[in-house]
Amino acid sequence: MTFLYLNSDRMGAGDDVLGRRLLVAFLRELAASDVQVDVVGCVNDGVRLTTRGSDALPHLEALAARGAHIATCGTCLDHHGMRDALAIGDVGNMAGTVQIMAMADRVIRPC
């Protein structure tokens, strides 16, 4: 199983606008590739990727259409006041994150 772990809405450190563009570009290329992603987990600022208005939504939708399960941290959504803005996938929890990380053959962590 391949787990895509997104703990930020940015890729790299430095300029935040550039970091957001880079991560969206990464997700676009990943969705267009032959790489199989089984689970996408979004935590911390990564929850911004799965909520209304995110530029990443079309790419996450493409991954979901290929079978990826998308889970967004409920505690993180609540912390940011974004639970009602969730636009794709399910609300997850830390117990699920622990299980998925423990079972994953590969973890992709671009941010």
Which domain CATH number covers 82? 3.40.1260.10
- The predicted pLDDT at position 12 comes to 95
User: What is the predicted pLDDT for the residue at 34?
Assistant: 96
pLDDT at residue 10 in the model: 97
The mean pLDDT of 68-74, rounded to a whole number, is 98
- Integer CA distances (angstroms), 75 to 6, 23, 61, 80, in order: 15, 23, 23, 9
**Residue positions counted in the chain:** 111
Contact at 8 Å (CB) between 69 and 83? no
pLDDT tens, residue by residue, 14-67: 999 999 999 999 999 999 999 999 999 999 999 999 999 999 999 999 999 999
Range of the domain at 42: 2-108
What domain count does the chain have? 1
